[in-house]
């Protein structure tokens, strides 16, 4: 624990709470990188970030200009944005603004910046870059989770380890010409608390500016700060705390202090002058962006116009008594498949629900002892699931051990030479088979040590959950998806996962609600649970009558190939075989339809159905493929409504669809749940894509061709150093010619009474913040048709 | 008059660089990617040339018109370079699709390959040196593929300094050899030197220093650890006859180097230092590509050690084996996360104390000694076996430590140790014994001693880091290793004093221009 006075502590804590966590690459779920700012209005957050870190949370003016000229943004959208915003400009002035250059953000100067001005041609690197690179290299080694074979010594804390290394580091002297470095470090306290306590005073930071200054220091190493925030997030889920982010702040502050001291007698006065310009930088940032935000809002209202028009068109009629319910994840990639499936037959009705199917589990794959969370990152696993098969378990353990031995020989310092000479030629064959897609360069959790046949055998089951609890889970699950009556013969629960290889960000394409894993396990467990006769009895006691002829079936939607696999057909009752057979046919047809729809965006247009299927399958196995699929790119809206409101409408894969029937939710607890959990998940995805698009340098991870995985799974560097990169790679957002994602804040349309929605806002601060501070646009289906928006506490058309 | 098959072979061989060059000047169109076609054609021609040579010449070296020399090393290298290049360019086509600079990238890849294959096929010293120079110049273009990355510019600048200095030394050695012994022909220069071993040694030492600079030996290795500032396929390409060319040229010139004892001792000393440093640093690196790059540095050191010990065939085997392995490892480096999750599935092997390390290494040395004796190796006749035996025992020690921990891992560990021993013994038997050097003059014990001592030190350091990671020695060692022993920093500082890199420091932020009064508010 770091010992500091309460005032300094609260400054440091407030600064660190601004940093949102980043999940590691093996469970790379989407995070809103600005989550720590949700209690402030978006334009003011953007102004602060512009001033404190030089970021710009808007597209360049040329982008809005293109949208305006092409008619995508219409005058009515601009007027609507003007009416809502606080800009005093006229329409003509705003249009004229588009022809001007996008202003470059002009951030506050820190000590490093003052030292870099004017640039010193004798130094091969600016201090600003050197400091980030040095801290980042240190953090990579200290946080390493298993890339290096020599484990890091973490016993005395991040700051002390940094201090000890810095006191022996010849790098600053040799590379930057700072010969006094080691002596300066030794004069510095080796205790992070003391650095925080005295550093701000030593640098003469005014009390009112300390939080801003501390935040800007953390934003300078935003990637690593986000990793610290992740550690803290996980610790807090566990009821503990991990304040390592404060130590990171101490390291960055120590750098400022050391450079300040090293810079010679004239420096303090220069520094004071720089500090005096901070307020001006803040004002400039606010002034420069205010009008651009009107354009951003106009772009969002342009989409809202389309969406509202679409929702006003007549929908296809929903079947009264569907024989098959198919439940998909709310993920936008389900939208197209659902639409395509419903076109096949009126006998199927589809629903949307969070793809972890309400099971807060951690999962232990067969033959291992790891526990992998398979639930949204906001929640803690409360149940354990495992796959059991004694024979497979032993075989797998053996193979994994043999594999580990091989890796041990390959990776040991002194063994590499003999390894290469003895076994290197084998990799020529491997190069060929990997290139042809017959093998993959690596296997991962679900494949390693298992044959295809064995993979199918280890069937997951819930471990040690009492009957009562299982009955409660099942009831909550059905109520959550508003499927409480009218059961047909089959209910298909479809999870989703992606398939790509040699892709560090692969888990980001998997199910976010399953913590960056495929939804297979959750879907199979949920189906199992709901088929259990004991559970069915409990459901009946809870007022949910599931007829005996209803069978729950699980499946997986592969979002890369758009194929659906069905599971556990070996336990399917015989009298359901024909239903499943029909369903399989419809699913295959639906897959082909949606593949064809998506093919243009993948550059595979104009192929026959079979050729296209083979092409996407090959793509999924191609180790050079940096765009296996487009993931959730271009999502823009979140609909909480029954399918009857939307059946037959083509949302173009841009909408999250959550099933909700308010008439079946008398006390609105389900609505409350949807708006506090799935909505937040969707908002995280939305802002991740938004921020990665508008400022890929700070909130995206750059070029995949340069990615260099850090610490085994922590994240990536772009190239050989610089800050840890968070967010999405450029290749997930841009096809080389244009942005595939349009950065728009999420539109949320709810089908529920006004009061019910407002009550949730009153009760739930988080949702209220998102709405009031314009992180999302909230609207609802008005009582007599059309859509009404919630603005400044009022419902307006 | 040359017989027809030989002439055909010459045309086939020369077609390889020509195809790359033709690909480089052809404009790509939407449906046609000249780079991938050129690379595949060249790979096919390379195989055909090597096969044709084997069938017509029955494994004996032939000199063809245009001083093209086809022999074992040349054909091996030709097949290696062209097939690896085909794999890399095929990969790049998808990997870099959408990158606005792809055509430029493909062009420089192809020019690089044209010059590498020219070098591989040529039997003329000046052609070799020139092609090598061109390879370095192309590499500069590839390293600065993203010219807006300041760190890429610094790395490329470093490579430029080191590489051109190396070229200078190599040109000096080759020109000296050509004028003093009267031939630039690679197959004659060795014999021509037979009468003047002193001169041969002096010129070979120049050459060897140049090779050390061009194969990223410490302390001139820095640029290689920063190559990941360029796209992944560039890192893979280094192993298709760019960074390892030095080893190949030495192999081709082995008759010259047979008697050049100073030069070979330098090779062994620099190579051992690089191999040991590189191996230790690579296991402390927390990022996948840095770890691979340091491992390449170490392996290049090992390649030079084998050359220095006169184990030319083994050195060639090593080039092939390492290129395949490392080319694959770089292209597959995006799988690091999957590899991590796989590792996480099996429980970590329990830690072992120093005592177990000592016992395991004793067992390893004993095993290698006994098995070697049974196999029929005699270190008294061939002192290099002391070096190779030590290297193998050092390699097997971690496996025996793992086996001693018991559990499921013991069986595979022992099995793998046995398999590695068997394969390496077989290689030595096939390739190590056919050395002419071993027959004429045995290697001096001193060179083998340098290697054995270096690798023993590596084993000790490794054991300390693994067995007592919290100990004072391990901490100090890990600290220095994680900074690469500041070798690159020191080297860069000295080098940049002579020739500073282009200014890459970004302009001051606008607010400070206000402060300096250079811009009106």
List pLDDT tens digits, range A127-174. Answer: 999 999 999 999 999 999 989 988 888 888 999 999 999 998 888 888
Give B294 to chain A, closest Cα distance, Å: 11
What is the rounded distance in angstroms from the CA atom of residue A283 to the CA atom of residue A699? 24
Distance CA A591, CA A587 (A): 6
Structure tokens of A562? 């758009």
pLDDT at B1: 45
Q: Which residues contact A448 (CB under 8 A, 6 or more apart)?
A: A399, A400, A403, B341, B342, B345
The burial class, CB within 10 Å (0-12 / 13-18 / 19+), for A460 is buried
Which residue is associated with the tokens 């244009």? Answer: A738
What is the residue-averaged pLDDT of chain A? 93
Interface residue of B76, B509, B517, B521 to substitute, partner A, most A CBs within 10 Å: B509
How many Å lie between the alpha carbon of B180 and the closest alpha carbon of chain A?
Answer: 38
B521 Cα to chain A: minimum distance (Å): 10
Closest by Cβ to A710, choosing from B96, B287, B334:
B287
* A553 touches A527 (CB < 8 A): yes
The pLDDT value recorded for residue B2 is 55
- Distance (Å) from the C-alpha of residue B399 to the closest C-alpha of chain A? 7
Mutate which of B338, B388, B510 to disrupt the A interface (most A C-beta within 10 Å)? Answer: B338
| Contacting residues of A for B513, CB less than 8 Å apart | 117
Instruction: Give the B window 31-90 contacts with A, CB below 8 Å.
Output: 83-84, 87, 90
How many A-B residue pairs are in contact by the CB < 8 A criterion? 406
Tell me the per-residue pLDDT of A389-412, one tens digit each, with 9 for 90 and over: 888 988 998 899 888 899 989 989
Interface probe for A, chosen from B36, B297, B316, B325 (most Cβ of A below 10 Å), is B325
CB contact residues (below 8 A), chain B span 219-258, against chain A = 225-226, 228-233
Which of A277, A504, A624 is nearest residue B336 as measured by Cβ atoms?
A: A504
Strand (E) or helix (H) holding A353: strand A348-353
N- to C-terminal Cα separation, chain A: 53
- Residue A545 near residue A521 (C-beta atoms within 8 A): no
Interchain CB contact of B413 with A (< 8 Å): yes
ipTM (interface predicted TM) = 0.94
Provide the pLDDT for residue B6: 77
User: Does B479 sit behind a cis peptide bond, omega within 30 degrees of 0 on the bond before it?
Assistant: no
Q: B461 touching A, CB under 8 A?
A: yes
Judge: B334–A503 Cβ closer than 8 Å, yes or no.
yes
Q: pLDDT tens-digit profile of A240-289?
A: 999 999 999 999 999 999 999 998 888 999 999 999 999 999 999 998 88
Digit-coded pLDDT (tens) for A466-490: 999 999 999 999 999 999 989 999 9
**Å from A383 to nearest chain B CA?**
20
How far is residue A81's CA from residue A76's CA, in Å, rounded to a whole number? 9
Give the one of A125, A408, A415 whose C-beta lies nearest to B150's C-beta. Answer: A125
* B296 part of contact set with chain A, CB < 8 Å: no
Q: How far is B41 from chain A (nearest CA, A)?
A: 17
Q: Which residues of chain B are within 8 Å of residue A400 when distances are taken between CB atoms?
A: 342, 345-346
User: Do the Cβ atoms of B337 and A424 come within 8 Å?
Assistant: no
| Number of other residues whose CB lies within 10 A of the CB of residue A73 | 23
Mutation for A interface: B101, B232, B287, most A CBs within 10 A? B287
For chain B, residues with pLDDT lower than 70 are 1-4, 30-32, 407-408, 432-442, 503-521
8 Å CB contact of A504 and B469: no
Beta strands in A42-113 (DSSP E): none
pLDDT of residue B505: 44
Nearest 5°: CA angle at A621, between A618 and A622? 85
Instruction: List chain A residues with CB under 8 Å of B231.
Output: 705-706
More confident residue, A445 or A500: A500
Higher per-residue pLDDT: A264 or A625 = A625
The Cβ of residue B476 has, within 10 Å, a number of other Cβ atoms equal to 11
Out of A114, A149, A164, the one facing B512 most closely (by C-beta) is: A114
Q: Is the pLDDT of residue A680 over 60?
A: yes
pLDDT at position A459 is 86
pLDDT band at A507 (very low <50, low <70, confident <90, very high): very high
């Amino acid at each position: 624990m770091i010992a500091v006075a309460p005032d300094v502590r609260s400054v440091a804590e407030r600064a660190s709470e601004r940093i949102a966590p980043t999940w590691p690459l093996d469970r790379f779920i989407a995070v809103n990188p600005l989550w720590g700012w949700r209690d402030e209005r978006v334009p003011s957050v953007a102004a602060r970030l512009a001033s404190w870190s030089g970021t710009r949370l808007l597209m360049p003016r040329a982008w809005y200009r293109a949208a305006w000229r092409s008619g995508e943004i219409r005058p009515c959208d601009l007027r609507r944005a003007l009416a809502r915003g606080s800009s005093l400009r006229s329409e003509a002035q705003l249009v004229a603004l588009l022809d001007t250059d996008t202003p470059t953000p002009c951030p506050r100067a820190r000590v490093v910046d003052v030292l870099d001005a004017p640039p010193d041609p004798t130094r091969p690197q600016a201090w600003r870059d050197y400091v980030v690179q040095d801290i980042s290299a240190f953090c990579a080694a200290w946080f390493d989770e298993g890339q290096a074979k020599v484990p890091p010594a973490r016993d005395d804390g991040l700051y002390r380890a940094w201090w000890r290394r810095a006191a022996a580091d010849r790098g600053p002297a040799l590379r930057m010409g700072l010969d006094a470095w080691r002596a300066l470090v030794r004069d510095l306290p080796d205790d992070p608390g003391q650095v925080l306590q005295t550093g701000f005073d030593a640098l003469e930071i005014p009390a009112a500016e300390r939080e801003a200054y501390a935040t800007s220091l953390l934003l300078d190493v935003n990637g690593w700060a986000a990793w610290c925030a992740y550690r803290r997030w996980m610790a807090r889920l566990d009821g503990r705390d991990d304040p390592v982010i404060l130590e990171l702040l101490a390291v960055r502050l120590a750098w400022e202090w050391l450079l300040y001291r090293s810079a010679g007698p004239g420096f303090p006065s220069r520094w004071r002058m720089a500090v005096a310009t901070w307020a001006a930088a803040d004002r400039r940032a606010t002034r420069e962006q205010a009008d651009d935000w009107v354009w951003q809002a106009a772009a969002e209202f342009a989409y809202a116009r389309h969406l509202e028009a679409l929702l006003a068109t007549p929908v296809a009629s929903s079947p009264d008594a569907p024989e098959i319910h198919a439940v998909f994840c709310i993920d936008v990639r389900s939208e197209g498949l659902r639409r395509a499936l419903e076109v096949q037959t009126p006998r199927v009705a589809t629903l949307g629900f969070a793809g972890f199917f309400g099971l807060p589990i951690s999962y232990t794959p067969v033959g291992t002892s790891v526990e992998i969370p398979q639930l949204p990152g906001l929640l803690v696993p409360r149940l354990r699931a495992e796959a059991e098969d004694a024979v497979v378990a032993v075989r797998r353990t053996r193979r994994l051990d043999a594999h580990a031995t091989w890796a041990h020989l390959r990776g040991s310092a002194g063994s590499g030479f003999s390894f290469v000479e003895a076994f290197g030629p084998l990799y020529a064959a491997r190069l060929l088979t990997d290139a042809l897609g017959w093998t993959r360069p690596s296997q991962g959790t679900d494949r390693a040590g298992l044959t295809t046949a064995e993979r199918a055998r280890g069937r997951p089951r819930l471990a040690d959950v009492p009957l009562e609890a299982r009955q409660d889970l099942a009831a909550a699950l059905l109520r959550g998806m508003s499927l409480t009556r009218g059961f047909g013969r089959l209910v298909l629960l479809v999870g989703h996962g992606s398939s790509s290889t040699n892709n560090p960000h692969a888990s980001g394409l998997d199910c976010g609600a399953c913590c960056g894993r495929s939804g297979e396990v959750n879907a199979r467990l949920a189906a199992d649970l709901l088929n259990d006769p004991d559970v069915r009895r409990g459901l009946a006691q809870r007022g949910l009558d599931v007829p005996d002829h209803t069978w729950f079936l699980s499946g997986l939607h592969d979002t890369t190939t758009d194929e659906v696999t069905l599971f556990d057909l070996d336990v399917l009752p015989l009298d359901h075989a024909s239903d499943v057979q029909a369903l399989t046919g419809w699913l295959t047809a639906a897959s082909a339809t949606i593949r064809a729809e998506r093919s243009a965006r993948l550059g595979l247009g104009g192929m026959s159905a079979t050729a296209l299927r083979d092409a996407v399958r090959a793509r999924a196995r191609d180790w050079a493929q940096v765009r296996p699929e487009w993931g959730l790119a271009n999502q823009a809206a979140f609909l909480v409504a029954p399918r009857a409101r939307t059946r037959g409408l083509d949302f173009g894969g841009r909408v999250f669809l959550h099933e909700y029937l308010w008439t079946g939710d008398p006390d609105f607890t389900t609505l409350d749940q949807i708006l506090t959990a799935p909505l937040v998940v969707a908002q995280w995805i939305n802002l991740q894509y938004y921020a990665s698009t508008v400022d890929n340098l700070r909130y995206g991870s750059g070029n995949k061709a340069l990615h260099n995985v850090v610490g085994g799974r922590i994240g990536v560097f772009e190239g050989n150093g610089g800050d840890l990169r968070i967010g999405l790679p450029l290749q997930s957002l841009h096809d080389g010619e244009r942005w595939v994602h349009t950065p728009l804040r999420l539109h949320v349309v709810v089908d529920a009474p006004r009061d019910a929605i407002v009550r949730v806002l009153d009760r739930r601060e988080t949702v209220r913040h998102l709405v009031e501070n314009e992180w999302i646009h909230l609207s609802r289906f008005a009582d007599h048709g059309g859509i009404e928006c919630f603005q400044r506490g009022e419902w307006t058309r | 008059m040359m017989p027809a098959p030989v002439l055909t072979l010459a045309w086939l061989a020369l077609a390889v660089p020509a195809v790359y060059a033709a690909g480089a000047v052809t404009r790509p169109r939407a449906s046609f990617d000249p780079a991938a076609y050129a690379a595949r054609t060249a790979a096919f021609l390379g195989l055909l040339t090597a096969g044709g040579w084997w069938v017509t010449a029955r494994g004996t070296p032939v000199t063809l018109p245009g001083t093209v020399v086809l022999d074992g090393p040349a054909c091996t290298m030709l097949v290696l370079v062209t097939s690896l290049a085909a794999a890399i360019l095929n990969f790049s086509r998808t990997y870099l699709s959408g990158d606005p600079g792809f055509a430029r990238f493909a062009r420089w890849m192809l020019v690089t390959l044209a010059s590498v294959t020219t070098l591989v096929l040529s039997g003329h010293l000046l052609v070799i040196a020139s092609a090598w120079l061109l390879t370095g110049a192309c590499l500069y273009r590839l390293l600065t593929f993203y010219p807006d990355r300041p760190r890429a510019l610094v790395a490329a600048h470093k490579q430029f300094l080191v590489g051109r200095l190396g070229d200078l030394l190599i040109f000096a050695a080759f020109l000296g050899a050509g004028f003093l012994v009267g031939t630039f022909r690679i197959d004659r220069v060795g014999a021509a030197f037979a009468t003047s071993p002193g001169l041969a040694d002096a010129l070979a030492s120049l050459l060897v220093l140049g090779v050390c600079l061009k194969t990223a030996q410490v302390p001139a290795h820095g640029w290689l650890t920063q190559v990941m500032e360029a796209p992944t396929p560039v890192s893979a390409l280094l192993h298709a006859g760019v960074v390892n060319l030095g080893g190949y040229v030495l192999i081709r010139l082995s008759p010259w180097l047979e008697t050049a004892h100073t030069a070979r001792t330098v090779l062994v000393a620099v190579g051992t230092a690089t191999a040991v440093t590189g191996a230790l640093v690579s296991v402390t690196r927390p990022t996948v590509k840095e770890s691979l790059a340091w491992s390449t540095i170490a392996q290049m050191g090992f390649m030079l050690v084998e050359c220095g010990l006169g184990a030319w065939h083994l050195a060639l085997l090593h080039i092939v084996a390492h290129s395949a392995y490392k080319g694959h490892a770089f292209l597959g480096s995006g799988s690091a996360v999957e590899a991590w999750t796989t590792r996480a599935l099996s429980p970590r092997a329990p830690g072992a104390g120093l005592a177990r390390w000592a016992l395991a290494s004793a067992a390893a040395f004993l095993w290698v000694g006994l098995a070697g004796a049974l196999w029929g190796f005699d270190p008294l006749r061939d002192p290099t076996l002391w070096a190779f035996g030590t290297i193998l025992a050092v390699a097997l020690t971690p496996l025996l430590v793992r086996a001693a921990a018991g559990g499921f891992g013991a069986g595979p560990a022992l099995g793998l140790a046995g398999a590695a021993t068997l394969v390496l013994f077989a290689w030595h038997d096939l390739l190590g014994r056919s050395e002419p050097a071993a027959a004429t003059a045995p290697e001096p014990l001193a060179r083998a001693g340098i290697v054995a001592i270096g690798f023993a030190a590596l084993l000790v350091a490794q054991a300390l880091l693994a067995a007592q990671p919290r100990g004072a020695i391990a901490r100090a060692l890990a600290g220095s290793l994680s900074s690469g022993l500041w070798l690159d920093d020191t080297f860069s500082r000295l080098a940049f004093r002579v020739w500073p890199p282009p200014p890459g420091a970004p302009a001051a932020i606008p607010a400070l221009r206000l402060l300096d009064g250079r811009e009106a508010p």
